[in-house]
Amino acid sequence: MKNRLLCAAALLLSCTASNKEAKPAAAAASAELGAHALVPPAPPARVEQVVETHAGITSRDPYRWMEAQGEDLTAWLHSQNTRTRSVLDRIPGRPALLDRVRTLSNSGSRITLAQRFGGRWFYFKLENGSDDKKLYTRAEGGTETLLVDPTLLGNSGQHYSLDWFQPSWDGKYVAYGISPGGSEDSTIHLVESATGKLLPDSIDRSQYAGLSWLPDSSGFFHMRLQKLARDAPPTETYRFMKVYLHRLGEDPDAEKPLFGNGVPGSAEVGEFDFPTVLATPVSPWALGISAHGVQNEQTLFAARLEDVDAGRARWVNVVDVAEAVTGYDLRGDDIYLLTHAGASRFRIVRTSLAKPDFAKAQEIVPQQEGVLTALGVAQDGLYVQMLDAGPSRLFRVAFGGGALQSVSTPFLGSIAFLATNPLLPGAAFNTQGFVNSPRVLLAQGSEARDTGLMPPLAVDTGGYEVREEKSASPDGTQVPCTVVAKKGLARDGSHPTLVDGYGAYGASEEPFFSPTLFVWLERNAVYVQAHTRGGGEYGEDWHNAGRQATKQHTIDDFVACARLVVEQKLTSPAHLAGTGTSAGGITIGGAITQHPELFAAALDRVGATNMTRFEITQGGPANVPEFGTAGTDEGYKALYAMDAYLHVSDGVAYPAVLVETGVNDPRVASWIPAKMAARLQAASKGGPVLLRVDFDAGHGMGSTRVQADLLRADEYTFLFWQLGDPDFQYGARPLRVAR
């Protein structure tokens, strides 16, 4: 999840005009006004100290009781959020900033996941004035038709959102997942694309359904979670998952599992693995995929599709984790595999499904200077995506291999979604850059044309620039840092600056376009994207260098990018903030606990800041491959080192922190940010610590436009306040935290 910003001349004028006479005094005092504010005392959290020793390390956990997620935690979360609202809502400048966020948020329709099936386009579209994305279809050369509008489903203060969709191969039907309150707890529904008629089929427990249609569109494979007892622990959620074949109109509860743990013929699928089955109209084979939690390397099996359909499949192993396969596609008897075995920046090989032999697989695309990140079979060849630290390029190659044919694009940016259809030539994809409005392109051969599905957004980007820099981490590694700002900013150390970092799962930080980012940039502020180790910017070696026991590199790299903009005199510690989202909570949590003097403020966005306890959460077992397990001494030591919560010390002047959570979060349980906020509030002698809670949201997926706009306004109001922008201070007097 990316969170970005914007504020134009209208906002600057409206903010300064009302304070015209007082502005000189405010400007003179701005250095004193950013770090402290008169805010209500934080509602105290009761302390029930738990002292433990693991692997020779003794830790103290005063808020372990929050993990039970009882009524007492809920009451405390409400009191914390009430305090946060009382602080943020009265900061001068916020109303005008929120208006500007809303204006830029409605700067044009945004289309995502555009793909072609049966002579039709299918896509999500967020229109101006709409609170959530909707599902649309458009016949080739025809008019657009609305298929699903989730905004009509909300009730009792809870909203519903579309999670994903998958058209049938002939384009006749679309399966889609929909869930309440940002929970991602999908229920599958079906709609007929030509008429908009809803089918009666409904399948619950379908989070991560991995839905794949049969070639004749008579049904689909889908993964379904087991039905849990009411008192089952959260770690049971993703256990014993299985794949079923659903025939249209039939009872899903009567279906028998075809693939997964405990299913005959697929015994190698682990009890916490995520199983899916892939079918395609251009191959007689079905592919059984066993994903080992968040681990990128997967185990693949093959069986004749007709045997799977008949329930008599005997799955044959194609590759295991040792073959380091992270991507795949089928054509005839062949399977194309994206692998980092013997190639940190990946290569593509081909083997036969009738007699798979990875050791003798034909190399179709050798390792390149860039990182190969995705592949897809189309009618006219294999389309390949290549990453170069941040931006991506697209290539086509013949099925039998040969020279890569470059696909020209209007600008060098990210490729957000690559969609091929083996029955059609070409590849559809979204591309965008920090100062380049998103477009939906269709590549055929060496050229990509604009489909016209998404006109440019109404945002003036002409006065801004993007610079690619590098900064040395403590071990000498050169870390890429992308700097986005107004052209010609003075190097006087005065500019509010936000450094954003992630660094996990081998996922790369890529260019994005967010209209609301400019609310930040227009006020002479700077945005920095840190390409830390743990990500995939330079391949699997880069990923492994910030994983488990090497996680400290991620934090060091983030701090190196922060120090870079200070050294360049774009900013100074009094005007510097950092942020991390989800697994990026490790990054920002480590940065502020290890270097509190470097930052004036921080945003902890649904952050994983209590890693020694993460394994007991709903998604904890699935994350063991990335972070390690507390069940071994070595694993616990690594988790303890990256546990920001356990490294908060009493009496330290930590930066001001806005901690964020959604109570329906299935990825980072809300008690994790809650514990971090409580510990900082009790320990810090620095800036204010606020806990922002959304009681109708989860991890950010499925949040509405209203929710997203309010969140942006809160985040950047908080930062402008703490980083010294005079238009966001409580008058011209020193502000302090009441304790």
54 SS3 class: strand
Residue 613 CA to residue 642 CA, distance in Å, equals 11
Specify the pLDDT at position 155.
Answer: 74
The whole-angstrom separation of Cα 497 and Cα 514 is: 17
Buried b (16+ CB within 10 A) or exposed e, 657-683: bbbbbbbbbbbbbbbbbbbbbbbbbbb
CA angle 371, 374, 376 (to 5 degrees): 145
Q: Which alpha helices (DSSP H) does 428-476 contain, by range?
A: none
Distances (CA, A) of 28 to 23, 65, 687, 692, 732: 9, 46, 20, 31, 9
Q: Which helix (H) or strand (E) holds 659?
A: strand 656-662
Decide if 655 contacts 686 (C-beta within 8 A).
Answer: yes
Whole-angstrom Cα distance, residue 364 to residue 403?
9
Q: Give the span between the Cα atoms of 242 and 257, in whole angstroms.
A: 6
Contact 652, 617 (CB under 8 A): no
Residue 623 carries which DSSP code?
G
- 189-198 CB contacts, 8 Å cutoff, 24+ apart: 189/148, 190/248, 191/135, 191/147, 191/148, 193/118, 193/120, 193/122, 193/137, 193/145, 193/147, 193/167, 196/145, 196/146, 196/147
What's the pLDDT score for residue 640? 98
- Residues shown for the chain: 739
What one-letter code names the amino acid at 405?
Q
CB 570 within 8 A of CB 526: yes
- In this structure, what token pair is assigned to residue 411? 């600008």
Helix axis angle for 584-594 and 671-683, nearest 10°, is 10
Q: Which residue has the tokens 């592949």?
A: 375
Tokens 């989730």 correspond to what residue? 150
Structural contact between residues 514 and 2, judged by C-beta atoms closer than 8 angstroms: yes
What single-letter amino acid sits at 286? A
What are the C-alpha distances in Å from 36 to residues 15, 578, 660?
21, 18, 20
Kindly give the parts of the chain with pLDDT less than 70. Answer: 1-37, 731-739
Residue 719 tokens read as 């930062």
CA dihedral 430, 190, 194, 279 (to 10 degrees): 60
pTM of structure: 0.92
Q: Is the dihedral of CA 124, 128, 130, 132 positive or negative?
A: positive
Checking 442-447 for CB contacts under 8 A at 24+ apart, the result is 443/383, 443/394, 443/396, 443/407, 444/380, 445/380, 445/396, 445/405, 445/407, 446/396, 446/405, 446/406, 446/407, 446/408, 447/407, 447/408
Angle of helix 9-17 relative to helix 94-105, nearest 10 degrees, comes to 160
- Give the containing element (helix H, strand E) for 29: helix 23-33
Residues 289-331 pLDDT 10s: 999 999 999 999 999 999 999 989 999 999 999 999 999 999 9
Q: How far apart are CA 183 and CA 171, in angstroms?
A: 28
